[in-house]
Amino acid sequence: MSFTINGKTFEEKPRPGQCLRTFARDLGWFGVKKGCDAGDCGACTVWLDGKPVHSCLVPAFRAEGREVTTIEGLACNGTLHPMQQAFLDAQAFQCGFCAAGMIMTSASLSEEEKKDLPFRLKGNLCRCTGYHAIEDALAGVGHVEPDRAGHACGSSLQSPLAHSIVTGTARYTSDIKMEGMLHLKVLRSPHAHAKILAMRTEKARAVPGVHAVFTSEDVPKRPFTSALHDDYRVDPDDTYVLDNFARYVGQRVAAVVAESEGAAEEACRLIEVDYEILPAVFDPEEAMLPGAPVLHNKEFSSRIQNAKKNIFLQIDSEYGNVAQGFSEADVTVEGNYSSNKVSHAHLETHIAIASQSEDGRIHVRTSSQAPFQVRAKLAYLFAIPLERVHVYTERVGGGFGGKQEMLCEELCVLAMLKTGRPVKWEFTREEEFIAGVSRHPMTTRIKVGAKNDGTLTAIQVRVVSATGAYGNHGGETLAASLSQSLQVYRCPNMQGTGYAVYTNIPPSGAFRGYGSSQTVFAVESAMGELARKLGLDLMTLQRKNVVIPGDAVHSIWEGPSDAEMGSYGLDQCMDFVETALASGRGETKPEGEEWLEGKGHAIHMHDCIPPTEQRSEAHIKLRADGTYYLTNGVTEMGNGTITSMRQVAASILNSMADRIEIVIADTDKTAYDTGTFSSVGTSVSCKSVSLAAENLRDNILKIASEYTSRPVEECALADGNVQCGDRTIPLTELFATARDARHRLEVMRKAYGSPRTTCFNVHGFRIAVHRVTGEIRILQSVHAADAGTILNPMQCRGQVEGAVAQGIGSSLFERMVFDGNGKMVNPNFRNYRISAFADIPRTEIFFADTYDAYGPLGAKSAGETPIIPVAPALGNALADATGVRFASLPFSADRIFEQLADAP
Amino acid sequence: MKAFEYVNAQTPESAAGLIGTEGRYLAGGIDLLGEMKEYIATPARLVNVKNLPTTREISKTPEGGFRLGANVTIAELAAQADLPAGLIEAAAEVGSPQIRAVATVGGNLAQHSRCWYYRQRDLTCLKRGGSTCYARDGENKYNAIFTGNPCISPVVSNLAVALTVLSAQAVVWRKSKEVRLTMAELYADAWNNPLAQNSLQPGDLILAVEIPAPVAGVRSSYLQVSEKSDFDWALVSCAAAGSVNEGKFRGVKIALGAVAPVPFQMEEANALLEGKPCNEASANAAASLILATATPFSHNGYKVPIARALIRRTLLNLAK
């Protein structure tokens, strides 16, 4: 029996029950990824005798005597396969986790088959790109521009990681093997609310290969929150590494470490638990009522505001006087809106590996958006000095907020400390759904008052947010939902009341749009209703009421604010979308009078930085060989910050980007960075780079001026040298000179997240709706963004395309469904459906021409916010087409059918 | 996944001998490996049936019909241009290219329920021997609108629906001999018995599917509506076969998928269409008859208008 993979013959035999995916990875072919392990996502696609298959659904024995090809076998004698080159040229990936599988499928297609990509790419999912760039790659369209000194800012430069991604050599956390590594698995609660009375672990410990079993007895008695914020006090300390109470179906109650995942899983099944089942509550309104089961009977020090009513946080705030505002109104509209629980569905699941070096330091390789916060939490939990903990990421396969959370690192460290062996824990896709985090489902009651001419007089919102069994991110998302969602309107009276409520469902967390998405859906839907009631066009109503340059940024809060409009492009964005929707571009409505057509749009203004503490620190130096070395603690998970940072530095140093080596996301090698979330990649982390690069540039010029005795005004940096009048000094020479003169061409600068600038997004749709079946077809999709200076057009377009795709999915079909016992019934990609190639229309994308006063080189956030106006734009288009207001997400065919059937 | 023993069978007789009480036949493995990974199936032994003689071929029968070996992949089937159009259309809608390259005709017919509750590892629903059909009062958006038993899981095989209207028969190895089952017979048990996925008995193995010789002028068509465009099961599917002579339906058969535990057909509707003009009115009349007894649940009422639209479109396709 022998196996041939990428032309090499292996004598190893698969284990009984092993699939081709893990067998290939055991033999070192790490380009074969795991996204679902169920044949749903295509990340593990390999060729079997030249045909693409999901290697997770092929028993390894089946490959005997056949030719297996993985992404690593595609290049020939060092020359990339044309499809790898095409993906490189179009930069048809972001985090890169799906790219290997996507390329394997794409490279198998004939020219004829490439004409029907929606059909041919059914088996490959990408959560980042929105598929436009993939379509371009298959059509041979390239976007990458040459790296030229002096042109870095504004050029579509390729990611420094691109080559490793298309060749399958990029190393994600799961691709790391360590000597003696053990595997961790957990037992999860089958009950939504229960007290653990006793646990018997003898049988589990007896399973061959098992090293240890951990229960709540074995963990530090320190409550913490899994949310990653610099200011940990914004989240409640309501979580233990392992608890003796289970508060949702799927909460971990015990952990096993073993030589193999299989042994650990088997041992988990043999742990016997005696539960005292407690009454559970799933609806947040019911959870606040007297007599409801109480989830957290905790001390006040846990920062839970009203534990007896299951309210982690209540917010009440008013700006102006809404009662008076409504009394002045000629017209009011009211509505109740609700949003769904949505999974991030990054294709790389949560994963961490903990190990210890001989000096006793702890090393954690993880897939996190905020390694410095993970370090702080681990140091706190295990009562060890910060310096003894090293946390780092390399490639991260998507985040979208889901990895602004510590969900697996702590158990790996616990197990590693107890066993003395490296420990790895990788979530399954099911665990990602039931025990990862997800978007907060919120219900919003909104009332808006206006004069007959459309002038807004008052806006009032009441938001109930289901934070789930734990309060991580429950407070900050609630605050954002009540404030950011309103601040695009210059209404004199605004009031918000909000509750972040515990229920016995899996915890919610940070999700792209962070609370704003949910309430903007309500606000923009209500504006659509108001426009209809007033007989006004929605654009006209909005233009009358939106903030204008010079306005203060305000919503429901009294008191001063550090949010400011550093540049203003809302007017341009609205014009772009209005003109595009009026152009007649896009598809035409299907024939037949049962098809209705409608247009709709929505607007949003977003803070580019969170109100919590945010800072970043860049170090940059000139090296002896005339290149630069840049470090920053930012993480890269497909958001493109690493590319932007090099471009910012290159632009300021008038250099090619390739002359700048960059190291990120490593608590040993880089200085503190709060974390990559809340739109800060450009606004804060890149800002520190621009400050450092400017300072380094000034230093270099000063030294060059002294060295050449020319006035500094006559000195300028060029690629690889300094031009001082008519003299050209190579940077290598200048470096040597500076060293001799004891100058240090090494700079550190910090950037702080204050003041906080704002960005704008407007999305428009033209859609067709089948009045009988409820089927929706998107005929035209238009997005306009004000992201200030566009540092990298290809990358910014990609961020918008990906956000819009995620928005379309969560508006049309994504929904985590729970049964009456609080158990999620669709925890897999087959039943929780994310967008595939065929589901996503081509969006027309426009960028406003503005220059931000605070951001690096005039740039501000681009990646997070385009998702926010998507749902209400679809809702407004649906209302336009059908005359019916759909107030509950998602707009799936069955719901539309039900409501249309009931409509008069 | 529970570790299993992997053995090769060379003949139907040896396969049936190897399967024992804890074994399962392994063909493409798409459905089976999924069930095993979810611990819904925990076979101790997998009997590889891919090497059984003639099961990987599409051949002509002596009567001029087609014999599709059970191990023919869906991709091979979809590429066989001389097969009836409705069958090719049904095959093309199966899964993704990666799945079609591996999945087989036999496996598609024998695949198990995709009901969310059936697929829950920790839940023992009615179909898995429990006492409750959780879908009835739960998330039943994708479930049946016709059933003869308390379980409302629908049959999801595309091929079964297309083969029903083509009057195909499954060739099944049963107790050391070949028996032939119509599609109705292949699924009949699932109508009444909540535990049954189909009428196959322990040890039964589908060896082939035989399609009668095509009759001149007879066309077939298959259409489905799915919620989204990646590989997705049909919300409703519909197949029809028959001819249209001088503007009139002749010998038409029609069947619906994803609405019942069996490919759903109604002889009265076929009879009603006989000799009727090929137009929307006739198609609507057939649809009304077929759907008259539908009993939708809380979340799947939308399937009725979709089925109606599909019946109309599929029937009118026969004239094209």
User: Would you list the DSSP string of A315-362?
Assistant: EEEEES-HHHHHHT-SEEEEEEEE----B---SSPPEEEEEE-TTS-E
Question: What confidence tier does B205 reach under pLDDT thresholds 50, 70, 90?
Answer: very high
| Nearest residue on chain B to A125, alpha-carbon basis | B230
For B223, residues 6+ apart whose C-beta sits below 8 A from its C-beta are B89, B237, B238, B239, B310, B313, B314, B317
Paired tokens of A183: 């595997």
Paired tokens of A122: 């059914």
Among A19, A56, A118, the residue with its CB nearest the CB of B229 is A118
| Closest to B163 in 3D by CA, of B76, B230, B283, B255 | B255
- The 8-class DSSP code of residue A59 comes to B
Residue bearing tokens 């598609």: B108
Please indicate if any CB of chain B lies within 8 Å of the CB of A144. Answer: no
Q: What is the pLDDT of residue A893?
A: 79
Q: Within a 10 A sphere around the Cβ of B192, how many other Cβ atoms? A: 12
* B5–A16 CB contact, under 8 Å: yes
Query: Strand ranges (DSSP E) for A489-634?
Result: 494-502, 595-607, 615-622, 628-632
Write the pLDDT tens digit of every residue in A324-347: 999 999 999 999 999 999 999 999
Among B98, B122, B225, the residue with its CB nearest the CB of A53 is B98
Cis before B84? omega within 30: no
A130: left (phi over 0), alpha (psi -120 to 50) or beta: left
**Do A706 and A757 have their domain in common?**
no
Q: What percent of chain A has pLDDT over 90?
A: 94
Please indicate if any CB of chain A lies within 8 Å of the CB of B33. Answer: yes
Distance CA A141, CA A134 (A): 10
| Domain-located, residue A92 | yes
**CA distance to A480, A486, B291, per residue, from A491 (Å):** 18, 9, 53
Contacts of B96 in chain A (CB under 8 A): 42, 54, 122-124
Contacts of B1 in chain A (CB under 8 A): 17, 19, 262
A773 or B318: whose pLDDT is higher? B318
Q: Report chain B's C-alpha Rg in angstroms.
A: 19
Please indicate if any CB of chain B lies within 8 Å of the CB of A890. Answer: no
Among B30, B138, B235, the residue with its CB nearest the CB of A57 is B30
**Do A202 and A101 have their domain in common?**
no
| Selected residues 168-197 of chain B with any CB under 8 Å from a CB in chain A | none
Amino acid at A405: E
Among B1, B101, B299, the residue with its CB nearest the CB of A53 is B101
The arithmetic mean of pLDDT across residues B295-306, rounded, is 93
**CA distance to A586, A767, A837, A844, A868, per residue, from A841 (Å):** 9, 11, 9, 9, 17
Question: What confidence tier does B230 reach under pLDDT thresholds 50, 70, 90?
Answer: low
Paired tokens of B104: 């087989």
Paired tokens of A793: 């057009």
Question: What confidence tier does A720 reach under pLDDT thresholds 50, 70, 90?
Answer: very high
Work out the mean pLDDT of chain B and round it to a whole number.
95
| Domain-located, residue A543 | no
**Do A120 and A137 have their domain in common?**
yes
| Domain-located, residue A545 | no
Domains of chain B with bracketed CATH: 1-52 (3.30.43.10), 219-317 (3.30.390.50)
Please indicate if any CB of chain A lies within 8 Å of the CB of B104. Answer: no
| Nearest residue on chain A to B44, alpha-carbon basis | A17
| Nearest residue on chain B to A891, alpha-carbon basis | B227
Q: Within a 10 A sphere around the Cβ of A648, how many other Cβ atoms? A: 33
| Selected residues 265-304 of chain B with any CB under 8 Å from a CB in chain A | 299-302
Cis before A284? omega within 30: no
CB A685 within 8 A of CB A608: no
Sheet holding A272-277, edge to edge: A245-246, A194-200, A272-277
* B3–A775 CB contact, under 8 Å: no
What angle, 0 to 180 degrees and rounded to 10, lies between the N-to-C axes of helices A516-534 and A538-545?
A: 110
Please indicate if any CB of chain A lies within 8 Å of the CB of B29. Answer: yes
The arithmetic mean of pLDDT across residues A489-494, rounded, is 97
Please indicate if any CB of chain B lies within 8 Å of the CB of A774. Answer: yes
Q: Is the pLDDT of residue A896 over 90?
A: no
Write the pLDDT tens digit of every residue in A418-444: 999 999 999 999 999 999 999 999 999
**Do A795 and A704 have their domain in common?**
no
- The 8-class DSSP code of residue A866 comes to G
Contacts of B88 in chain A (CB under 8 A): none
**CA distance to A357, B139, B235, per residue, from B118 (Å):** 47, 12, 17
Please indicate if any CB of chain A lies within 8 Å of the CB of B17. Answer: no
| Domain-located, residue A17 | yes
Q: How far is B25 from chain A (nearest CA, A)?
A: 13
For A291, residues 6+ apart whose C-beta sits below 8 A from its C-beta are none
Among A19, A61, A813, the residue with its CB nearest the CB of B227 is A813
For A15, residues 6+ apart whose C-beta sits below 8 A from its C-beta are A60, B3
Q: Structurally, how many domains does chain A consist of?
A: 5
**Do A593 and A497 have their domain in common?**
no
Q: What is the pLDDT of residue A904?
A: 58
Of the candidate ranges A273-287, A366-380, A736-750, the one whose mean pLDDT is the lowest: A736-750
Distance CA A745, CA A887 (A): 58
Please indicate if any CB of chain B lies within 8 Å of the CB of A819. Answer: yes
Please indicate if any CB of chain B lies within 8 Å of the CB of A772. Answer: yes
Contacts of A39 in chain B (CB under 8 A): 30, 33-34, 95, 98-99
Domain boundary among A726, A752, A778: A752
Contacts of A833 in chain B (CB under 8 A): 227-228, 230, 232
| Domain-located, residue A173 | no
**Do A444 and A519 have their domain in common?**
yes
Distance CA B166, CA A205 (A): 57
Q: What is the CATH number of the domain that holds A34?
A: 3.10.20.30
- How far the first Cα of chain B sits from its last, in Å, is 49
Write the pLDDT tens digit of every residue in A504-528: 999 999 999 999 999 999 999 999 9
**Do A160 and A26 have their domain in common?**
yes
Which helix (H) or strand (E) segment holds residue B182: the answer is strand B177-182
Write the pLDDT tens digit of every residue in A128-157: 999 999 999 999 999 999 999 999 999 999
CB A183 within 8 A of CB A262: no
Q: What is the CATH number of the domain that holds A384?
A: 3.90.1170.50
The reported pTM is 0.95
Q: What is the CATH number of the domain that holds A335?
A: 3.30.365.10
Write the pLDDT tens digit of every residue in B30-77: 999 999 988 999 999 999 999 999 999 999 999 999 999 999 999 999
Burial class (CB in 10 A: 0-12, 13-18, 19+), B218: middle
Q: What is the pLDDT of residue B174?
A: 97
Work out the mean pLDDT of chain A and round it to a whole number.
96
Residue bearing tokens 């629903």: B125
| Domain-located, residue A371 | yes
Question: What confidence tier does A775 reach under pLDDT thresholds 50, 70, 90?
Answer: confident
Mutate to test the interface with A, among B42, B98, B112 (most CBs of A within 10 A): B98
| Closest to A205 in 3D by CA, of A257, A242, A156 | A257
Burial class (CB in 10 A: 0-12, 13-18, 19+), A295: buried
Which helix (H) or strand (E) segment holds residue A190: the answer is none
| Closest to B289 in 3D by CA, of B307, B316, B301 | B307
| Domain-located, residue A81 | yes
- How far the first Cα of chain A sits from its last, in Å, is 69
Domain hosting residue A798, numbered range = 562-611+753-904
| Closest to A503 in 3D by CA, of A248, A225, A224 | A248
Domain boundary among A166, A196, A211: A166
**Do A332 and A352 have their domain in common?**
no
SS3 at position B58: strand
The arithmetic mean of pLDDT across residues A271-275, rounded, is 98
Question: What confidence tier does A205 reach under pLDDT thresholds 50, 70, 90?
Answer: very high
| Closest to A859 in 3D by CA, of A653, A673, A644 | A644
| Domain-located, residue A838 | yes
For A866, residues 6+ apart whose C-beta sits below 8 A from its C-beta are A761, A763, A783, A785, A799, A800, A803, A804, A807
Q: Which residues pair with A446 in a beta bridge?
A: A335, A461
Q: For chain B, give me the number of helices (H) and strands (E)? A: 11, 12
**Do A244 and A291 have their domain in common?**
no
**CA distance to A194, A291, A466, A785, per residue, from A250 (Å):** 12, 25, 17, 39
Distance CA B247, CA A493 (A): 69
* A57–B99 CB contact, under 8 Å: yes
Paired tokens of A685: 């982390």
**Do A761 and A898 have their domain in common?**
yes
**Do A152 and A267 have their domain in common?**
no
**Do A768 and A879 have their domain in common?**
yes
* B34–A831 CB contact, under 8 Å: no
How many interface pairs between A and B have CB atoms less than 8 angstroms apart? 146
| Selected residues 34-53 of chain A with any CB under 8 Å from a CB in chain B | 37-39, 42, 45, 48, 51-53
